Amino acid sequence: MKKIRKIGVMTSGGDSPGMNACVRSVVRSGLKNGLEVVGIYRGYQGMMEGDFIECEAHTVSNILHRGGTFLKTARSEEFRTKEGRAKAYAQLKKNNIDAIVVIGGDGSFTGAAVLHEEYGIPVIGCPGTIDNDLFGTDFTIGYDTAVNTVVDAVDRIRDTAESHSRLFFVEVMGRDAGLIALRSAVASGAEAVLIPETITYIDKLIDTVKTGYLMHKSSAIIIVAEGDDEGGAYEIAKKVGAKFDSYETKVTVLGHIQRGGKPSAFDRVVASRMGHKAVLSLLDGETNKMVGMQRNELVLVPFTQAIKHHKEINQDLLNLVEVLS
Give CA–CA dist 290/281, Å, rounded.
10
Give CA–CA dist 51/39, Å, rounded.
9
Residues 49 and 80 in one domain: yes
**Which tens digits make up the pLDDT trace of 176-188?**
899 999 999 999 9
The yes-or-no verdict on residue 96 having pLDDT over 90 is yes
Residues 137 and 168 in one domain: no
Q: What is the pLDDT of residue 243?
A: 82
Residues 273 and 254 in one domain: no
Residues 49 and 132 in one domain: yes
**Which tens digits make up the pLDDT trace of 105-159?**
999 999 999 999 999 999 999 999 999 999 999 999 999 999 999 999 999 999 9
**Neighbour count for residue 58 (Cβ, 10 Å):** 8
Residues 300 and 245 in one domain: no
Task: Give the active site residue among 15, 98, 131, 144.
Answer: 131
First to last CA, the chain: 57
In the chain, how many domains are there?
2
Alpha-helix residue ranges (DSSP H) falling in the chain: 19-32, 43-49, 82-94, 106-119, 143-164, 179-188, 202-214, 233-243, 265-283, 303-308, 315-324
3-state secondary structure of 13: coil
Residues 249 and 162 in one domain: yes
Give CA–CA dist 17/130, Å, rounded.
8
- Whether 315 is covered by a domain: the verdict is no
Q: What is the pLDDT of residue 210?
A: 85
Over its C-alpha atoms, the chain yields an Rg (Å, rounded) of 22
Per-residue pLDDT, averaged over 302-316, amounts to 87
- Whether 303 is covered by a domain: the verdict is yes
Q: What is the pLDDT of residue 241?
A: 85
What is the 3-state composition of the chain as percent helix, strand, coil, each rounded to the nearest 5? 45, 20, 35
Residues 296 and 189 in one domain: no
Which helix (H) or strand (E) segment holds residue 294: the answer is strand 289-294
Residues 91 and 160 in one domain: no
Please report, for the domain that includes residue 162, its CATH number: 3.40.50.460
Q: What is the pLDDT of residue 212?
A: 83
Specify whether 131 is catalytic: yes
Please report, for the domain that includes residue 23, its CATH number: 3.40.50.450
Are β-strands 289-294 and 297-302 bridged in parallel, bridged antiparallel, or unpaired?
antiparallel
The yes-or-no verdict on residue 1 having pLDDT over 70 is no
> Which are the contacts of 269, defined by CB distance < 8 A and separation ≥ 6?
none
> Which residue range is the domain that position 205 belongs to?
144-259
Sign of the CA dihedral running 50, 116, 93, 26: positive
305 vs 243, more confident: 305
- Whether 317 is covered by a domain: the verdict is no
**Neighbour count for residue 61 (Cβ, 10 Å):** 10
Residues 185 and 293 in one domain: no
Residues 241 and 299 in one domain: no
Per-residue pLDDT, averaged over 43-65, amounts to 97
